Amino acid sequence: MLFWRALVAGFLLFTWGGLGVSGVTNKLPPCEFPAIYNFGDSNSDTGGISAAFEPIRAPHGEGFFHKPAGRDSDGRLIVDFIAESVKLPYLGAYLNSLGTNFRHGANFATGGSTIGKPNETIYEYGISPFFLGMQITQFNQFKARTKELYDEAKIASDRDKLPRQEDFAKAMYTFDIGQNDLSVGFRKMSFDQLRAAIPDIVNQLASAVQNIYQQGGRAFWIHNTGPIGCLPTNFFYNHNPPPGFLDEHGCVKDQNNMAVEFNRQLKERVIKLRTELPEAAITYVDVYATKYELISNAKTLGYADPFKVCCGYHENYHHVWCGNKATINKTEVYGASCEDPSKSISWDGVHYTQAANQWVANHTLYGSLTDPPIPITQACHRQ
């Protein structure tokens, strides 16, 4: 089954990669991105929240990095596969001050980040203080400060760890954020209130893109938000949902409908941004469709139950999160990993396994689910 799944993935990579270089795009030269700058939440955090607060524990990261690597997964995230596809090193977190090389970019994403400014602390519900506006402020400071340090550097080895100023205009700017805005909304608002708040949330993301454009950025790769109603955490405390609560694939219908509405407005705003920013190449990436397809067809594709969590202990309303320990009925319980994460979609109930992340990357990086339909290797060209 694993061989068959790998064969299918390889076929898709070949055919979709071919689509990415056929038709209109075969006339375009490949982009040579010198760096990636990423903004987002835990779906693309490569060590930010782990550096700022408590480090992420094992077994996170052990499936690929053989140790915790600041990622909420057993291995690589989509942003890691993006880096691989454009032949750049994995991104270091901006907040990680120890041993990080920023020559080829920086990651400003942190787990729990929202687009909108939070009004609660990370110790309440895990919402990061580093919302998107703060990440943009950090980027602006990073760009200015690295120029000073580069100019002041006395030896080449010091300069080699810093970005060249001319590279900011040639870099790829990636965004994967918005899921936590919906999550907070589900917890604090009615559906009507959340729906009314979406335009402002989307406009704040657009403002972030405009800020980077003013700083010289030109290539943008913007993920929409995934099917939040399909996350297994929805069922940790709701084992018997009422009739009509779930869709035909077992996901929370109303939550996914809200994600679809968020994505509709985001796509409309991206189209408007293309008019407002005449030199920008902005690609909208339909991560929702890809993840929903994976979850809907998990068994056919050779994966385990998509609502079964690989890492952690979640039985009979007792919950021990991945990598943690707790005492249940006088017995210490460890939130361990499942035997083979490559067969699972959900890593810990909220985040995806490396296998799922790779599947999503394979289905989005080659132009089949992007607007415009262009592979990331050519996404510097305005369509």
Place of tokens 């550096």: 51
The span from the CA of 115 to the CA of 255, in Å, is: 18
Q: How far is CA 247 from the centre of its chain?
A: 24
Q: What is the DSSP letter of 28?
A: S
The catalytically annotated residue of 45, 247, 348, 363 is 348
- Residues 277, 214 contacting (CB under 8 angstroms): no
CA distances from 46 to 234, 239, 294, 299 (A): 25, 33, 23, 30
The catalytically annotated residue of 42, 44, 73, 113 is 42
Give the three-class secondary structure for 53.
Answer: coil
Enter the tokens of residue 128. 């990061």
Which of 267, 232, 240 minimizes the C-alpha distance to 347?
232
Place of tokens 């080659």: 366
* Active-site residue, 128 included: no
The catalytically annotated residue of 247, 351, 363, 368 is 351
The span from the CA of 205 to the CA of 267, in Å, is: 12
Phi-psi region of 137 (alpha: psi -120 to 50; beta: other; left: phi over 0): alpha
Which of 70, 77, 73 minimizes the C-alpha distance to 54?
70
Phi-psi region of 79 (alpha: psi -120 to 50; beta: other; left: phi over 0): alpha
* Active-site residue, 344 included: no
Show the DSSP H helices in 277-304 as ranges: 287-296
The span from the CA of 91 to the CA of 110, in Å, is: 13
* Active-site residue, 348 included: yes
Q: How far is CA 284 from the centre of its chain?
A: 14
Neighbour tally for 15: CB within 10 Å: 12
Helix and strand totals (H; E) in the chain: 11, 10
What residues act catalytically? 42, 348, 351
